[in-house]
Structure 1
Amino acid sequence: MSSKVNMTQYVGYIATSLDGYIATPDGGVAWLDPFNEAVAADGGDGGYGDFIADVDALITGRETHEQVLGWGWPYEDRASYVLTHQADYTADHVTAAGDIQTLRKAIEKAGHKKVWVMGGGATQRAALDAGMFDTLRVFVMPTILGGGRKLFTDGPQHNLTFVSSQSHGGGMLQIDYRIKD
């Protein structure tokens, strides 16, 4: 478990292709639709409902934030912190924007308990390298995209501790990890 003094828990919850991509080269995620439909056909949501119920804030990258806004904001009144180089970035549903340390300070000052690190590979990497993740839930989809946006952008090695795995409809595999200190 993490030895952090604060009470904020940072969690990852993300889908990837077997070859490690979370989106097509243009940022598209429609490739996930058949898998979401398969899970729904089994009468479930892959645990998303239970997961999101406890989340009180999100960290997204700017592109992810704008993409989600285009779909119609599904996260109700949860606080949203946007990782961007544009410190003056503003958009609907933005609580704060800036680099990862700026976001961390704002999140912890606000007293959030569970924060979903939701953005793309650069956002995932920034939170990982900053030592923010407590847990990571990865859904591996049985497809090979052959290219696109990586689960994590390049950076230093981080070792994880396997917690559990579970299969879901459509051949999806959920793998849960704790991040080693």
Structure 2
Amino acid sequence: MRPRLSVFIATSLDGYIAASDGGLEWLRNAATPGDDYGYAAFMQNVDALAMGRGTYDHIAALDPLPFDGRPLCVFTHRPPEPRTGVTFWQATPGEAASEWERQGLGRVYVDGGRLIGSFLEADLIDDITITVVPILLGSGLPLFHPSSTVRRFRLDECESWPDGLVTLSYSRA
């Protein structure tokens, strides 16, 4: 059976996941230290991670990677130096989902704006958790890119946090 493909991401109120330069300082400054906004609970059911190269570059210097040994697949056309536990590949979303099914994975966390968009376009995302940060960036890297297809999701849960952030959890309708 194909693994469940999940998104867990934060966005500004105006829909950006990073500043125009790719920076995430706005997000670090908005988060309350010590609060993970449901991330640890989400990760308890994740078997592997997939991310785009731009997202990987934000964490590449971390040693060890903060995923408790879960395999990480980085989608890129410009692979960096090999790293234990990280696979760099150029697979399509469909090829990736087939490979993860072959590996017997139950749930894969898909991260990074462009990568999320390509999995959405292939109609492979099963659920999306978005934490909305009450800040207007005005410009930046958008969470969602133009698509040729309508995708419907239903709201499963809405949680507000004392610092004004709101987490919205959706699953495919």
TM-score w.r.t. length of structure 2: 0.88
CA shift for structure 1 position 36: 2.1
Indicate whether 1:50 and 2:45 are aligned. no
CA shift for structure 1 position 89: 6.4
Structure 2: distance between partners of 1:107 and 1:142: 35
Q: Which has the higher helix share?
A: 1
What does residue range 30-45 of structure 1 map to in structure 2 within 5 Å? 30-37=25-32, 40=34, 44-45=35-36
Indicate whether 1:128 and 2:131 are aligned. no
CA shift for structure 1 position 101: 2.5
Letter of the structure 2 residue corresponding to residue 28 of structure 1: G
- Count residues in correspondence: 169
Partner of 2:9: 14
Letter of the structure 1 residue corresponding to residue 143 of structure 2: L
Letter of the structure 1 residue corresponding to residue 95 of structure 2: T
Contact 2:2 2:100 in 1 (8 A): no
Structure 2: distance between partners of 1:49 and 1:25: 28
SS of equivalent residue, structure 1 residue 31: helix
Indicate whether 1:94 and 2:86 are aligned. yes
Indicate whether 1:141 and 2:140 are aligned. no
Per-residue CA deviations over 1:28-68 (Å, capped at 9, x if unaligned) read 11211133226x3xxx4211111112211011001211221
Q: Using the aligned pairs only, state the percent identity.
A: 31
Letter of the structure 1 residue corresponding to residue 37 of structure 2: G
Structure 2 unpaired stretches of 5+: none
Per-residue CA deviations over 1:8-40 (Å, capped at 9, x if unaligned) read 1111100000000000112111211133226x3
Letter of the structure 1 residue corresponding to residue 116 of structure 2: Q
TM-score w.r.t. length of structure 1: 0.85
CA shift for structure 1 position 96: 4.8
Indicate whether 1:66 and 2:57 are aligned. yes
Alignment match of 1:26 (pick from 15, 21, 26)? 21
